[in-house]
Structure 1
Amino acid sequence: MAKVLDDDANTIFVGGAGTDYATAQNLLLKYGNRHGLIAGATGTGKTVTLQTLAESLSLAGVPVFLADVKGDLAGLSQTGGDNPKLAEAFQTRATQIGVDLDYQAFPVTFWDVWGEKGHPVRTTPAEMGPLLLSRLLDLTDAQEGVMNIAFRVADEDGLALLDLQDLQSMLVWVGQNASELSLKYGNVSPASVGAIQRALLVLENQGGLKLFGEPALELSDIMRQDSSGRGMINILAADRLMHSPRLYATFLLWLLSELFEQLPEVGDPDRPRIAFFFDEAHLLFDDAPKALVDKVEQVARLIRSKGVSVWFISQNPADIPEEILGQLGNRVQHALRAFTAKDQKALRMAAENYRPNPAFNTAEAIQQVGTGEAVTSLLEAKGVPGIVQRTLIRPPYSRLGPVSDAERSAVMNASSMGVKYDKLLNRESAMEVLAKRADDAAKQTAAATQTTRANDDLFDMNRDEYQNARRYEPRAEAKPKRSSSGRSDTIVETFGKSLARQLGTKSGQALVRGVLGSLFRGR
């Protein structure tokens, strides 16, 4: 009987190969970090392959992170063999490929963005960064530029972006101070700020409030082993998350980027430090900008030196860009259907990616393999691609299918992660700091207004006092009484007025000159 895990050879048993399935097809753990591909049409056995690989890696002490799109991978937490019909079929297959069925449950931690089917898994806008957030929100180049400015200002001012409300508050501040920021960082358009806010509102309605917050997921908590040395299998409940495909793809890409940025270089270890399975991988690349595809290619190419094994699961290898497909050395290809000219072209391209086997035609084999069977090519010594083989995949040891709510709750209650992640934290961050600044500014403005008003009132009072102090109020004089005839002028006043009128005439002026002349001559 073949061993599922051969510690001496550092290999894991994938399935029986050859025409009679008597030849073992093994995955060398040393080359597990060269990444892999699981492809095939719906219903051809991709889920079983993913489950058996996750089991084998866990038995080898390698932690696993995978997304449960349909809800049936949760059965990894339960012992298999409870379905009589499946148990009989699996026993037949096990006998055919020469392996014992050791039914057992595996150490599992359930995670869920909504915190319903697993412990809440969160990140922060600061950790995700402007590039991935712009991809998540489907922003234009101009809007992405404004997003970068918001992150830059937040970083320089020490404003922590820990949740969606922090980011929204930061964008409001950027919009209010657009004219000042434009001089230093470039144009900040109010229209761009408004467009980003609308996109954030859509994200909020899709569950963004749940995704962003603290405590954020720590990588060490998904890279654990149980007490017996088996790697922890982390299962992300993605059945609801799949309704927001952009959110799903961006979150998994963020997790992959965090592994790349935080893990130290280890070269080529004897086995991976963690295996990452990206189901429905085409969602990562659909309508993705070139900058994002380049980032994924960079991560896929360089993360292997961090000891990370990445597996992409998709219906067709053509869903994966050529630059990334070339980084996937271990391949499990289930059946492909070729009903149209486009399908036939994709089939030929898939077959060309394998090292030929003279015993059969690869393209024909990919069409002919049945459920649970695949065309495989695994890296051999020195990293050389193995000759393509028709392989019957090993049956899983755990349950194939979903779990009940009671079983899921029992697993979650037994996990130590609930104490750390179930309760949401809300410490002071950008929203609170900006709100406090706005409140302080409002108070200062109010105080300044009050002071100005008081000074104005004091000035008005002082002005009144000054005017009252310098005002001269003459005493009222008694008016002369009118004569009974109605004339008020005296004889002297009448003569004076007549003399003044005469001085204004020529005769008056001559009289004055004569009088003055006689006076000076008399001297």
Structure 2
Amino acid sequence: MLEEGKLYIGTSRKPDDTLNKPEYLELKFGNRHGLITGATGTGKTVTLQVLAEGFAAAGVPVFCADIKGDLSGISAMGEPKDFLLKRAEQIGLSDYGFSQFPVIFWDLYGEKGHRVRTTMSEMGPLLLSRLMNATDAQEGVLNIAFKIADEGNLPLLDLKDLQALLTYMSENASALSAQFGLVSKASVGSLQRELLILEQQGAQHFFGEPALAITDIMRTGHDGRGVISVLAADKLMMNPRLYATFLLWLLSELFEELPEVGDLDKPKLVFFFDEAHLLFNDAPKVLVERVEQVVRLIRSKGVGVYFVTQNPLDVPETILAQLGNRVQHALRAYTPREQKAVKTAADTFRPNPDFDCATVITTLGTGEALVSTLEAKGAPSMVERTLVRPPEARVGPITEAERQQILSQSPVRGVYDEDVDRESAYELLQARAQKAEQAAQLEAAREAAEDERAQGSRWTLPGFGNDTPAETGRTTRGRASGYQRETIAEAAMKTVARTVASSLGRALIRGILGSLKR
């Protein structure tokens, strides 16, 4: 039943419930992307696990998010449960056995896996503005901030780096506006508040170093099987915007770093994006265009992207059209939107004359799906009603002790677990501010010293406020005692004083008038 170069999904059956044929996904078309949809409880997570196991067994590394913790079981040996054995018997899988797969656990918070980080610079202003829910004006300020960081050799690594840069921009808004365009203090303040919210939501764990190396999620084990990277996302889902932005950043990094390889016998990496609707909820047009561009072009890098969501309407039509491999589980059709989703899903399949897709979608059982994959020359196969094969690894979560044991044997153990805080924008701007403050203090001290020297060498005239209290007191007492005859020496001194004072007054008046005339 199993064929070389193909991933076995399950076995289709005819309208009379007899077995029809095995359904495969050809590995050479694995980079043409895919879609797994269905209502809650219809078997999407198990289908994701089946596909991840199949790619890994073929030597393809896999990255996927574990929303509920159930997917962690892929790292443990499967158990012979009744419903699994029954499904294997239903589809005629006589050689069904159990296995476990090489797994690396990741976690943005470092609680259930190795820390995952990126830097502010790698994130870039577009994705960062999405994460911060920035307006157009605020996004413009962010672009200016990154421009200043590039020109000023200010590495933006973590949250405090961007906070320090925004403070600098607020303090120098007028000068920066003249050079880069309007830098509004109001926009800067709004961004600072958004950064504070991100920090309270735990985003500081995501930004910093060491940043995730793409090669560490593209590993193969000693036995040739692909390593499955499982991102613990149960806590991350409390902040869905951070979750979606992180996965989009990861896609963008893959797109930018990997070389063009064309068509391969199998993908270099398969990426499963669970709860994909979070990526497109309230997303600006420019971001949707970015996702469309990445999805369209990343297949030439050997990467397959598989979106997992409840409703096919969650994915924009421009992106939906690029998803060649599709697994559609049951959908409900009670509300007008649900009925529209059923029709949309049915219309995307190549019709099968044996049944009506729109009718069958609402009657599929758990673990049953409509399947259509790309076949010869990349054309979609006729849709088939398929019983999905049972997984080989454990269905359900692993224990905390099992997780810790896997982490202790991880090939990246110790690489990402400790923060590295090297000199960056925060430290550089702080050092510049201290240097400027010290220079200002030295200048103030120099000016004070010059004023002191000038005060010490200045001569003053009698009667202009430099008389001592004793002298003033004697003069007052002299005047109070009545008229006293002046000596010749005293009269001469008074004459000289009046002459000098008059000359000085005239000189001052000439100076003032002269400056007015000029």
TM-score after normalising by structure 1? 0.87
Q: Which residue of 1 aligns with 2:64?
A: 66
Equivalent of residue 288 in structure 2, options 285, 288, 293 = 293
1:62-141 correspondence to structure 2 within 5 Å: 62-81=60-79, 87-99=81-93, 100-141=95-136
Secondary structure at the counterpart of residue 109 of structure 1: strand
Tell me the distance in 1 between the aligned counterparts of 2:21 and 2:181: 64
1:273-325 deviation per Cα after TM superposition (whole angstroms, max 9, x unaligned): 00000000000000000000000000011100000000000001010000000
The amino acid of 1:93's aligned partner reads R
Tell me the distance in 1 between the aligned counterparts of 2:460 and 2:210: 66
Q: Which residue of 1 aligns with 2:471?
A: none
Residues 225 and 232 in structure 1, CA contact (< 8 A), matched pair in contact too: yes
The amino acid of 2:317's aligned partner reads E
Residues 215 and 424 in structure 1, CA contact (< 8 A), matched pair in contact too: yes
CA-CA distance at 1:184 after TM superposition: 1.7
Tell me the distance in 2 between the aligned counterparts of 1:488 and 1:404: 114
Q: Which residue of 2 aligns with 1:55?
A: 53
The amino acid of 1:222's aligned partner reads I
**Structure ID, larger Rg:** 1
Equivalent of residue 370 in structure 2, options 375, 383, 392 = 375
Equivalent of residue 194 in structure 1, options 189, 197, 220 = 189
Tell me the distance in 2 between the aligned counterparts of 1:166 and 1:270: 44
Tell me the distance in 2 between the aligned counterparts of 1:132 and 1:180: 27
Q: Which residue of 2 aligns with 1:439?
A: 434
Tell me the distance in 2 between the aligned counterparts of 1:344 and 1:449: 76
Tell me the distance in 2 between the aligned counterparts of 1:168 and 1:154: 12
Structure-2 change in CA distance of 1:449 and 1:386 (3 Å): same
Tell me the distance in 1 between the aligned counterparts of 2:421 and 2:259: 31
Pairwise CA RMSD of aligned residues? 1.8
Equivalent of residue 268 in structure 1, options 247, 263, 272 = 263
CA-CA distance at 1:18 after TM superposition: 2.5
Q: Which residue of 2 aligns with 1:505?
A: none
Structure-2 change in CA distance of 1:41 and 1:454 (3 Å): same
1:295-374 correspondence to structure 2 within 5 Å: 295-374=290-369
CA-CA distance at 1:464 after TM superposition: 5.3
Secondary structure at the counterpart of residue 390 of structure 1: strand
CA-CA distance at 1:417 after TM superposition: 1.3
Q: Which residue of 1 aligns with 2:386?
A: 391
Q: Which residue of 2 aligns with 1:182?
A: 177
Q: Which residue of 1 aligns with 2:22?
A: 24
Secondary structure at the counterpart of residue 414 of structure 2: helix
Tell me the distance in 2 between the aligned counterparts of 1:254 and 1:400: 30
Residues 22 and 97 in structure 1, CA contact (< 8 A), matched pair in contact too: no
CA-CA distance at 1:458 after TM superposition: 1.4
Tell me the distance in 1 between the aligned counterparts of 2:226 and 2:171: 50
Tell me the distance in 2 between the aligned counterparts of 1:108 and 1:375: 29
Tell me the distance in 2 between the aligned counterparts of 1:412 and 1:333: 34
User: Is residue 2:37 matched to residue 1:39?
Assistant: yes
The amino acid of 1:51's aligned partner reads Q
Residues 334 and 366 in structure 1, CA contact (< 8 A), matched pair in contact too: yes
Tell me the distance in 1 between the aligned counterparts of 2:19 and 2:447: 93
Tell me the distance in 1 between the aligned counterparts of 2:128 and 2:231: 20
Tell me the distance in 2 between the aligned counterparts of 1:341 and 1:420: 51
Number of residue pairs matched by the alignment: 463
1:426-480 deviation per Cα after TM superposition (whole angstroms, max 9, x unaligned): 000000000000000000001111111111111112225999xxx9xxxxxxxxx
Secondary structure at the counterpart of residue 14 of structure 1: strand
Tell me the distance in 2 between the aligned counterparts of 1:134 and 1:284: 14
CA-CA distance at 1:487 after TM superposition: 13
The amino acid of 2:394's aligned partner reads R
1:190-269 correspondence to structure 2 within 5 Å: 190-269=185-264
Structure-2 change in CA distance of 1:16 and 1:445 (3 Å): same
Structure-2 change in CA distance of 1:252 and 1:487 (3 Å): closer
The amino acid of 1:428's aligned partner reads E
The amino acid of 2:86's aligned partner reads T
Tell me the distance in 1 between the aligned counterparts of 2:288 and 2:189: 27
1:66-87 deviation per Cα after TM superposition (whole angstroms, max 9, x unaligned): 0000011000110011xx5xx2
Tell me the distance in 2 between the aligned counterparts of 1:97 and 1:464: 112
1:485-504 correspondence to structure 2 within 5 Å: none
Q: Which residue of 1 aligns with 2:272?
A: 277
Residues 21 and 392 in structure 1, CA contact (< 8 A), matched pair in contact too: no
CA-CA distance at 1:416 after TM superposition: 2.6
Secondary structure at the counterpart of residue 417 of structure 1: coil
1:139-150 correspondence to structure 2 within 5 Å: 139-150=134-145
Structure-2 change in CA distance of 1:487 and 1:126 (3 Å): closer
The amino acid of 1:149's aligned partner reads I
**Residue segments in structure 1 that go unaligned for 5+ positions in a row:** 472-485, 490-523
Q: Which moved more, 1:172-181 or 1:145-154?
A: 172-181
Identity of aligned residues (%): 57
Q: Which residue of 2 aligns with 1:506?
A: none
